[in-house]
Chain A
Amino acid sequence: MFHYFHCGALARRLIAACCLGSSLLLGACGTSPVIPSGKFPPPVLNKVPLSIGLYMDSSLRNYVHLDKPADSARQEVHVGAASQALFSEFLAAQFHNMSILSEAPGAGRLPHNVQAILQPIIREVQIASPKTDKDSFHEAWIKYSLVLMSPSGEQITSWDVPAYGKHRAPDIGGGNASLTSAVREAMRDAAAGMALIFRDGEAIRQRVAAASARTQPAGSDL
């Protein structure tokens, strides 16, 4: 007696289908979380002559994106820790002086030289994995906002920092390494976006100076 099984035209598809079946069975037991590395290369930037306070609240530091596509396993993407490292390292390289603030703007005492406060916020995270033979990439979108505040906590302005990363999925297997790489690519893209925002250091200096002039008594300098 013969047991027949029919696949697509290619042997590679046959192998891929078998591996996909196995991974779906294993997926029922849960997939390992995606935890991108928080190590980024030192950025090449011209320092803006400003002293900045960086405030990152717990919703950013602990941000975990949970995704449950209809036809695949639940995915857990830890975005917070790596984002915290990215903003700390990038903004420390971008500004002449940067202090990490542990208390919310306006709520506590600031280091005396802080001229403005930056608060990054994660607005939204989306991920996508290849679903058909035509799809080649794992993709990640992270929508950050960067809020610029006066030392007293009043918002001066904010910038949207949309970030996108993709990484080619291997034909077979690979675990979640490709998705992890896509998330990291998105974070590197966020750094590129911030570099473009602060490329003209004079623009942010003028905004901070204007806000400072509004709040400080006449005659005092920034």
Chain B
Amino acid sequence: MKKQLKTLVIAAIAAVATACVSSKVEQLRQTGQTVTVAAGESLVVLGRRHRADRESEESFNSCIASSLSRQNLPIYSEQKFKDALFPWLEARTAPISSDALNKMLDEPIISQRIKSTGVRFMVWIEGETEKIDSGGGIGCGLSPAGGGCFGFGWWEKESKYEVTIWDVNKRTSVGKVSVNASGTSYMPALLIPIPLIARTEAAACDGVAGQIGEMLTPAVQGAPWRARTE
């Protein structure tokens, strides 16, 4: 009984333990005012893919979309939006500046298609989470009498993202949010490995979504919106 309790306590510690993350979030508003997302309007969260060596993770993009949805901001599905505007949001055709956005919106066939989706705000995400250092080692052993692991491992991750919000109706930038979150995860192993994870991506997501929520507010407060699929 005592042994089972001990195992449970170790498992619970492992499940809840997290290592520290330090994050820095910066916000730049173009107008200095909060913009209201009117009824029938929505946002789309899009990952930038024009660089060959890096791309924001799908998990990060969907974390942002889910967080904004919980703030009652209506979210349009990224894939549906890209398909609706095919091939103008592919890596080589997607606008990377507000001038390029203007040029794209000058095409009536494209602006009409965007209008038909109800999307007013494009939230562009650029950046990624990467492991910048690691060390230590863990050895595991197994015998007829039992097994276990001994050692200590660590790794450091950094999440760097820059988010730009464009208003398609006004053809202007609403603002920018940049975040830099870093933290070191540890994994001591005394019989069983106990991971102490620094969740840098989650911290960056929370920081960015919070700032976007301050820039854009829903017209009607109510139940969280779900991602539109049509």
Contact = CB atoms under 8 A, between A and B. Distances in A.
Contact of B139 (A4, A164, A196): A4
A166 B83 contact: no
A43 B109 CA distance: 11
Contact of A168 (B57, B143, B193): B57
Given A6-B139, A44-B86, A168 B109 contact: no
A168 B192 CA distance: 31
A89 to B, nearest CB: 10
Given A7-B138, A10-B153, A192-B91, 19 more contacts: A3-B142, A3-B143, A6-B139, A6-B140, A8-B153, A9-B153, A11-B153, A11-B187, A11-B195, A14-B140, A41-B84, A44-B88, A46-B109, A137-B55, A164-B91, A166-B55, A168-B57, A189-B92, A192-B92
Interface residues of A, number: 32
Contacts of A192: 87-88, 90-93
Interface of A: 1-11, 14, 40-46, 137, 164, 166, 168, 185, 188-189, 191-196
Given A1-B143, A41-B86, A196-B93, A11 B138 contact: yes
Contacts of A14: 138, 140
A11 B92 contact: no
Nearest to A189: B90
Contacts of B109: 44-46
A9 B92 contact: no
Contact of A43 (B87, B92, B137): B87
Nearest to B49: A166
The 4 A-B residue pairs with the shortest CB-CB distance in the complex, in nearest-first order: A9-B153, A41-B83, A192-B90, A192-B87
A40 B141 contact: no
Interface of A (DSSP majority class): mixed
12 contacts: A3-B142, A6-B139, A9-B134, A9-B138, A10-B155, A11-B187, A11-B195, A14-B140, A44-B86, A45-B109, A166-B49, A192-B92
A93 to B, nearest CB: 10
Contacts of A42: 86
Given A10-B134, A46-B107, A164 B52 contact: yes
Contacts of B55: 137, 166, 168
Interface string B42-60: 0000000100100101100
A46 B143 CA distance: 70
Given A41-B83, A44-B109, A195-B93, A5 B140 contact: yes
A157 to B, nearest CB: 21
